């Protein structure tokens, strides 16, 4: 499935026929926050192809969410589309409750919802800007995970989306980068906490990926988005992220917890 988002982005690819499923997530119950677009949509499609039932939480774009529903169902999977706000604890809890009402449990939680806004300097960052980044990007992970853990059992998997920026920094994205660093620490700590329960916690650190979130740079610096690339000389595609989440969700990664998968075109080679 391919979308054209903007002239500044290449055609966006969420999944292709080249991805061959093997039933790695057959009958698993998956919740993905921010699952209506970008990386979240790609993850939804890949997990659906692997046989999972997929619920997505979206914030405001109902049309995009319905497009994702159609894609999940096209893979022959059951879809659950839930509107919510990761910045609000009650909304996160209600989203989890809706999944439990429908499927009586959660096997895989993907905390993917996020936002970013560029700034020229610290002086431009208001208290509200700073707080919003943490409310959406970090607090939402805590709220959703706390609610979901009541309904997750041994063998379950939690996957958080951090960013390469947590490791290399980004001068234009200081609040965003700070939240992504917090996610790294949270992932490692939670992985240790949940060892005794047999629940694995890992994260994926994408590099620049052709998704809607990059369009915030259009009016900030028009050349920035055009020049954004990796050592491979291009931005990544959402379809190149989806299999990383499948790996961390399924039993192929049964001996992996507290770890980071760097999918960034070679921006960093350790960490």
Q: Where are the domains of the chain?
A: 25-262
pLDDT single digits (tens) 61-72: 999 999 999 999
pLDDT band at 5 (very low <50, low <70, confident <90, very high): very low
192 backbone dihedrals φ, ψ, rounded to 5°: -70, -40
What confidence score (pLDDT) does residue 1 get?
53
What confidence score (pLDDT) does residue 215 get?
53
Give me 233's structure tokens: 């000389």
Helices (H), the chain: 38-49, 62-74, 89-103, 127-134, 140-149, 165-168, 174-193, 222-227, 242-249
Known active-site residue 176? yes
> For residue 156, what are the β-bridge partners?
none
Is 0.95 topped by the overall pTM? no
253, 204 Cβ separation under 8 angstroms: no
| Whole-number average pLDDT of the chain | 91
User: Which CATH superfamily is 25-262 part of?
Assistant: NAD(P)-binding Rossmann-like Domain (3.40.50.720)
What confidence score (pLDDT) does residue 267 get?
87
pLDDT single digits (tens) 13-40: 999 999 999 999 999 999 999 999 999 9
> For residue 29, what are the β-bridge partners?
53
Residue 93 to residue 252: CA distance in whole angstroms: 30
What confidence score (pLDDT) does residue 213 get?
56
pLDDT band at 229 (very low <50, low <70, confident <90, very high): low
Give the strand pairing for 12-13 and 2-3.
antiparallel
234, 34 Cβ separation under 8 angstroms: no
Q: Look up residue 51 and give its DSSP letter.
A: T
Share of the chain above pLDDT 90, in %: 80
What confidence score (pLDDT) does residue 233 get?
80
Averaged pLDDT, 242-259: 98
pLDDT band at 271 (very low <50, low <70, confident <90, very high): low
82 backbone dihedrals φ, ψ, rounded to 5°: -130, 125
Under 8 Å CB-to-CB from 135, ≥6 apart: which residues?
Answer: 86, 87
Sheet holding 108-111, edge to edge: 79-83, 53-58, 29-33, 108-111, 157-161, 200-206, 260-263
In this predicted model, which residue has the larger pLDDT, 88 or 228? 88
- Which H/E stretch holds residue 79? strand 79-83
Which is the catalytic residue, given 58, 143, 176, 186? Answer: 176
In this predicted model, which residue has the larger pLDDT, 231 or 118? 118
Residue 8 has pLDDT above 70, yes or no: no
Residue 116 has pLDDT above 80, yes or no: yes
164, 156 Cβ separation under 8 angstroms: no
Share of the chain above pLDDT 70, in %: 89
168-196: b (≥16 Cβ within 10 Å) or e? eeeebbbbbbbbbbbbbebbbebbeebee
Q: 3-class DSSP state for residue 265?
A: coil
C-alpha Rg value of the chain to the nearest Å: 17
pLDDT band at 123 (very low <50, low <70, confident <90, very high): very high
């Amino acid at each position: 499935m391919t979308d054209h988002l903007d002239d500044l982005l290449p055609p966006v690819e969420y999944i292709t026929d080249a991805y061959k499923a093997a039933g790695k997530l057959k009958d698993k119950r998956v919740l993905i926050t921010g699952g209506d677009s970008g990386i979240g949509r790609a993850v939804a499609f890949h997990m659906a192809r692997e046989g999972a039932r997929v619920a997505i939480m979206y914030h405001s774009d109902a049309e995009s969410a319905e497009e994702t529903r159609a894609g999940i169902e096209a893979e022959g999977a059951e879809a659950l589309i839930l509107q919510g706000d990761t910045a609000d604890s009650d909304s996160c809890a209600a989203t989890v409750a809706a999944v439990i009402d429908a499927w009586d449990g959660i096997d895989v939680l993907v905390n993917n919802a996020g936002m970013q806004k560029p700034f020229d300097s610290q002086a431009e960052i208001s208290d509200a800007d700073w707080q919003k980044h943490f409310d959406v990007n970090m607090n939402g992970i805590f709220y959703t995970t706390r609610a979901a853990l009541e309904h997750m059992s041994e063998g379950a998997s939690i996957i958080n989306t951090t960013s390469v920026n947590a490791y290399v920094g980004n001068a234009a994205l200081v609040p965003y980068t700070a939240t992504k660093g917090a996610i790294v620490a949270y992932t490692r700590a939670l992985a240790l906490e949940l060892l005794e329960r047999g629940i694995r916690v890992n994260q994926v650190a994408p590099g620049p990926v052709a998704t809607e979130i990059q369009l915030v740079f259009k009016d900030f610096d028009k050349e920035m988005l055009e020049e954004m690339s990796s050592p491979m000389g291009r931005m990544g595609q959402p379809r190149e992220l989806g299999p990383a989440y499948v790996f961390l969700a399924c039993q192929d990664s049964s001996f992996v917890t507290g770890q980071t998968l760097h999918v960034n075109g070679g921006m960093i080679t350790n960490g």
